[in-house]
Structure 1
């Protein structure tokens, strides 16, 4: 048997809080609460130990008997919980901290809104219910993230998310090796401008802003964008969409003019952006064309592309599985009415 601070020192956790063994219960519970709310990047082994060993029932740890077996069990569970939690967490980049990225990387950054029922894919409601639309949006994010992850060793996946403080909602959706950075601004053009500015400011050599509506975009297209931006400051990369917009815009330097006087959400977006680039002397490299899925007609097109017999099994596999199960359960006409 050890007592209080001596036991904590024996297991190597006394140094964490200097005089933790003499702290009252209220002080300990306050730190546990702060860690759970995200003020600490990983809940400390000491705090986990307190939680799991039921020592919080004591009014004060000083001088209390602490069985070795209970301490070992508590520490084991604490470290396992801490490691699992750490594996799920994304690093959230902070513009105020300056450069946080190693030199030479291109950000492949998904512009994303937290997939909450009733707030995403609203133009697909109906035929989808709000919860189905949110799940479809989640499937799109997973498929696009998988393609980004395969785009090459000089690229890094990033989720540019909104609303602020919704980063925990991406655990289990975006891979844990993705970084996150919050969106800033009001209008769509302002958010794109700020996203590019922030990504370059934290240390990315180049960045590509990617929409979350094009789940069939390929790894070849993203890899081509990264390659085109390796050493050319005088160009941008555009990935055109069938509806006249673009699913990707890439650059090495921010030029705000690219996002000015654009009729957003119209068929003129790609042409106007191409025009803005040429007005300031930038070359434009155009990627293969894909399509956005944001209404009933494009949802039907997606279903036909992914579920027909001769479809490629490697295109949007998560989305394919979701749509196949939904159609099997609800019927084709409910999902894709004539």
Structure 2
């Protein structure tokens, strides 16, 4: 039987809420590519080889999936371009990504949800449970139509929708310095009350990778350290 729909999302300037949805009604989405050399993290080459860049991508994805697996949620879904590998922990549904640009792929991920949903990418291995705690709190969706996690490069690393509507993402230009601002404006123009998450840095360049590895102690940091030692030999 299909789960019940949540009440309509709160609009800016109104008193209405979606209730105390919290973790029990929130779907957590991770959108990712299979870490195949030459298809992921191409901006890390050089100094890394395509195979090394793929290993860093796999480590970043594994860290993200492990973190999300520790969080309370109604569902945990990996929206994947490619095939699952040994880096996928238990407890996930796996859905294929929709064809098209990144906006269409994100829209497709939200289209598979019924009720509040939060989407994150595979580029922030430093993500910690405490960062997402406000979304999953009992009042996380109270008087809140969307959660927005801005990225340091002008994009966004997280997007949460109380009432997932693919048209809130579809058509937003992706992978530009203005993507985050344009996406957030789309939410506001739709009348949603938006709450912000902290700014995080994506793993895009070798400089990003070094900065993030220095601030975390997961699999990504260990793989980065191993590869750097190999480069310096």
TM-score > 0.5 by shorter chain? yes
**2:202 corresponds to which residue?**
292
The alpha carbon displacement at 1:301 in A equals 2.0
Question: Superposition pairs for residues 230-245 of structure 1, below 5 Å?
Answer: 230-232=140-142, 234-245=144-155
The alpha carbon displacement at 1:327 in A equals 1.9
User: Does 1:114 pair with 2:34?
Assistant: yes
The alpha carbon displacement at 1:234 in A equals 4.9
Partner of residue 135 from structure 2, selected from 225, 241, 244: 225
**1:159 corresponds to which residue?**
78
Question: Superposition pairs for residues 86-105 of structure 1, below 5 Å?
Answer: 99=2, 104-105=24-25
Partner of residue 222 from structure 2, selected from 303, 307, 321: 321
- Compare relative contact order (CA 8 Å, sep 6+) and give the higher one, 1 or 2: 2
Change (3 A) 1:229 1:275: farther
- Preserved CA contact (<8 Å) 1:239 1:247: yes
Change (3 A) 1:261 1:100: closer
Change (3 A) 1:316 1:206: farther
Between the aligned partners of 2:102 and 2:139, the Cα distance in structure 1 is 24
Between the aligned partners of 1:261 and 1:178, the Cα distance in structure 2 is 28
Change (3 A) 1:296 1:325: closer
Between the aligned partners of 2:172 and 2:143, the Cα distance in structure 1 is 23
The alpha carbon displacement at 1:106 in A equals 1.6
User: Does 1:253 pair with 2:150?
Assistant: no
**1:194 corresponds to which residue?**
108
The alpha carbon displacement at 1:316 in A equals 4.5
- Preserved CA contact (<8 Å) 2:65 2:89: yes
- Indicate the SS of the match to 1:194: helix
**2:88 corresponds to which residue?**
174
- Indicate the SS of the match to 1:299: helix
After TM superposition, what 4+ stretches of structure 1 lie above 3 angstroms from structure 2?
Answer: 98-101, 228-234
Structure 2: where are the runs of 5+ without partners?
Answer: 5-20
- Preserved CA contact (<8 Å) 2:144 2:192: yes
- Indicate the SS of the match to 1:325: helix
- Preserved CA contact (<8 Å) 2:29 2:117: yes
Between the aligned partners of 2:168 and 2:202, the Cα distance in structure 1 is 21
Q: Which has the larger radius of gyration?
A: 1
**1:49 corresponds to which residue?**
none
- Indicate the SS of the match to 2:32: strand
- Preserved CA contact (<8 Å) 1:145 1:157: no
TM-score with structure 2 setting the length? 0.83
Q: Tell me which moved more, 174-183 or 219-228.
A: 219-228
**1:5 corresponds to which residue?**
none
Between the aligned partners of 2:90 and 2:54, the Cα distance in structure 1 is 21
Between the aligned partners of 1:115 and 1:143, the Cα distance in structure 2 is 13
What are the Cα deviations for residues 11-44 of structure 1, in whole angstroms up to 9, with x where unaligned? xxxxxxxxxxxxxxxxxxxxxxxxxxxxxxxxxx
- Indicate the SS of the match to 1:119: coil
Partner of residue 146 from structure 1, selected from 66, 77, 80: 66
Q: CA RMSD in A?
A: 2.4
**1:184 corresponds to which residue?**
98
- Indicate the SS of the match to 1:111: strand
